[in-house]
Amino acid sequence: MGLLDEIREQPSVVRRMLDEGREPIARIAERLRGTPIDTIVVAARGTSDHAAVYAQYVFGARRQVLVALAAPSIISLYESEPRFGRSVVVGISQSGASPDIVGVVAAARRQGVPTVAITNTPGSPLARAAEHTIDLLAGPERAIAATKTYTAELTAIALLSAALAEGDDDLVALDGVPAALDAALETERDAERLARGQAGISGCVVLGRGYEYATAREWALKLKELARVLADPYSSADFQHGPLALLEPGFPVFAVVPSGPPAADLIDLLRRIRDDHGVDLLVISDRDDARALGNGLALPSGVPDWLMPIVSIVPAQLFAYHLARARGLDPDAPRNIHKVTITR
């Protein structure tokens, strides 16, 4: 079992989460409905922090709930404690081991606000600190770079949002995700070919917006961890405040642009930077016109925009995996880092 196996395991991991995670999450949602909630505070680091970014858009755009991403060091280093008021506090961590994330959840629980742990390790300190635990049911993740626990985290967030909605439409939409993941895995041959063509890059920019900002962040992290490429992720809106200055002929720009409200503006931006600055584009999209802007990796069509991040990260993972290989690196043994990161 290596990283590539865990990437390929994602359709079954997400299917298991949908089958077995749905009921426990519905019960947690039922408990949360009973309390007035103004804000969802999410504490997470690394890959799990990108799941938190996804939560910000899903709960914001679909449930009209404000999401605040916690700054754990306010508690762990400055020994201060924000008043959580009418919040639910959610900690997300594969290992559930990092003391600073546990610290946020523990503080919230002491204040009496509802707390939820989303973790692949239900016996972990994070799970023990929280009132409710969502088990990711992803099986042991042995590769250092997280893949299947990330898509499981996104699925847990989508399930929780669906459980807080009126009606079953969101749950029905979620049922289509495992098949879309199967289709996304079929990009592997294209991802490998494109990665070989990019083997010489040293840095790049990764763009996404809205729901897909999480994907841009996670793709950039995989590129750093696995392929040692200095990948800088940006929302396409923030990108126009300054980092545009980096662009020059041949500079690699990667983008995730599925169908949805941000697509038209982002396609315009990509066309402009290609035509004006000669950048080298690689676009992950279900839209032919987006992929035709440069090199493309195809997403399956018909996935609702709010669920697409569970799917769109797959070609990005495959590309990062094969870019590492093309650069002579071992994606199962990234340099300098460990599976469980303990930060105060």
Catalytic residues: 339
The tokens of 201 are what?
């890059």
Quick one: which of 282, 337, 324 has its CA closest to 3? 324
Dist. CA 118–CA 52, nearest whole Å: 11
Say which amino acid occupies 132. Answer: H
208 contacts 256 by C-beta, under 8 angstroms: yes
- The whole-angstrom separation of Cα 156 and Cα 170 is 13
39 binds its own copies (CB under 8 A): yes
Smallest distance from its own copies to CB 132, Å: 20
By CB under 8 A, the residues from 170 to 209 that bind its own copies are: 202-203, 209
Question: Do you know the residue count of the chain?
Answer: 344
Judged by CB under 8 A, the number of residues near its own copies is: 71
**Nearest-approach distance from CB 65 to its own copies, in angstroms:** 6
- Cα 302 to chain centroid distance, Å, stands at 20
Residue placing its CB nearer to its own copies in the complex, 123 or 261: 261
Is residue 243 involved in binding its own copies (CB under 8 A)? yes
Give 229 or 299: the residue with its C-beta nearer to its own copies: 229
How remote is the C-alpha of 40 from its chain's centroid? Answer: 17
**165 touches its own copies (CB under 8 A):** no
Residues forming beta bridges with residue 18, ordered by sequence position: none
Distance of closest approach, residue 233 Cβ to its own copies, in angstroms: 9
Does 7 bind its own copies (CB under 8 A)? Our answer is: no
Contact assessment for residue 143 and residue 332, using Cβ atoms and an 8 Å cutoff: yes
Q: How far is the CB of 227 from its own copies (least distance, A)?
A: 9
Q: Which of 86, 110, 142, 193 lies at the binding interface for its own copies (CB under 8 A)?
A: 86
Q: Is residue 215 a contact point for its own copies (CB under 8 A)?
A: no
- CB nearer its own copies, residue 24 or residue 304: 304
Site for its own copies contains 277 (CB under 8 A): yes
**Least Å from the CB of residue 63 to its own copies:** 9
> Alpha-carbon distance 291 to 187, whole Å?
13
Neighbours of 44 (CB within 10 A): 25
Task: Give the residue with the Cβ less far from its own copies, 23 or 64.
Answer: 64
Of 18, 26, 199, 247, the one binding its own copies by CB under 8 A: 247
